[in-house]
Amino acid sequence: MARASGRERQKALARGVLMHRLLQALPDMVADARRDAARRHLARRADLFSAQECESMIEQICRVLDDPRFSALFGPGSYAELPIAGRFPGKGGIIAVSGQVDRLAVTADEVLIADFKTNHPAPAKLEEVPQAYVAQLALYRGALALLYPGKRLRAALLWTDIPALMEIPEERMDAALAALTSA
């Protein structure tokens, strides 16, 4: 298999940064203003992306933001790029977590944690998700459980390429956390 060129890697990293930034900023705007704001933001990277590539990114973002399945993540009571730090007990001792949750939605009875992934192509099945992604969500879930006692904590990966919200089962996150603490 051929390795990606330096430019391809640069574009992939820049795409991820841009997609994250748009998913952070656009939900707070009136829906009719989102596309123009996204175009202005993406124009700053015309050195890397063609107009067609920019329009494709805008379409992907708007599909996510307009999808009712994701409404809690981007509605009132949700937070973007939320830094978290905490310590919680694990099987092997205290676990320290420091990170940034891409999106957090808090409702009356649950907390939804979402991490955006721009993999292309996105995994089609849960079994294809890299274990590191599951472990990251498991750590966030463990830290946030202390802040939201009595609430169900759900975690998902939001694949911007499809778009799709892929919830990670609690059992899989528990197993990932157990593997981290036994190492």
What topology is assigned to 71-182 in CATH? Answer: Lambda Exonuclease; Chain A (3.90.320)
What's residue 90's pLDDT?
Answer: 75
The domain segmentation of the chain, as residue ranges, is 6-66, 71-182
What's residue 183's pLDDT?
Answer: 59
Q: Is a pLDDT exceeding 90 seen at residue 149?
A: yes
User: If we measure between CA atoms, which residue out of 133, 90, 92 comes closest to residue 113?
Assistant: 133
User: If we measure between CA atoms, which residue out of 119, 133, 111, 104 comes closest to residue 19?
Assistant: 119
pLDDT tens-digit profile of 57-72? Answer: 999 999 999 888 888 9
What's residue 120's pLDDT?
Answer: 77
What's residue 106's pLDDT?
Answer: 93
Can you spell out the DSSP letters for the chain?
-PPPPHHHHHHHHHHHHHHHHHHHHGGGS-HHHHHHHHHHHHHTTTTT--HHHHHHHHHHHHHHHH-GGGHHHHSTTEEEEEEEEEEEEETTEEEEEEEEEEEEEE-SSEEEEEEEE--SSPPSSGGGS-HHHHHHHHHHHHHHHHHSTTSEEEEEEEETTTTEEEEEPHHHHHHHHHHHHH-
Distance CA(67)–CA(153), nearest Å, equals 22
Q: Omega of the bond prior to 68 within 30 degrees of 0, cis? A: no
Average pLDDT over residues 142-150: 92
The model's pTM is 0.84
Distance CA(180)–CA(100), nearest Å, equals 19
Question: Beta strand pairing status for 78-90 and 152-159?
Answer: unpaired
Q: Is a pLDDT exceeding 60 seen at residue 1?
A: no
Is the separation of the CB atoms in 34 and 22 below 8 Å? Answer: no
Question: Beta strand pairing status for 78-90 and 164-168?
Answer: unpaired
Percent of the chain with pLDDT over 90: 62
Is the separation of the CB atoms in 29 and 49 below 8 Å? Answer: no
* Least confident range of 43-47, 109-113, 148-152, 178-182: 178-182
Percent of the chain with pLDDT over 70: 97
pLDDT tens-digit profile of 83-110? Answer: 999 888 777 778 899 999 999 999 899 9
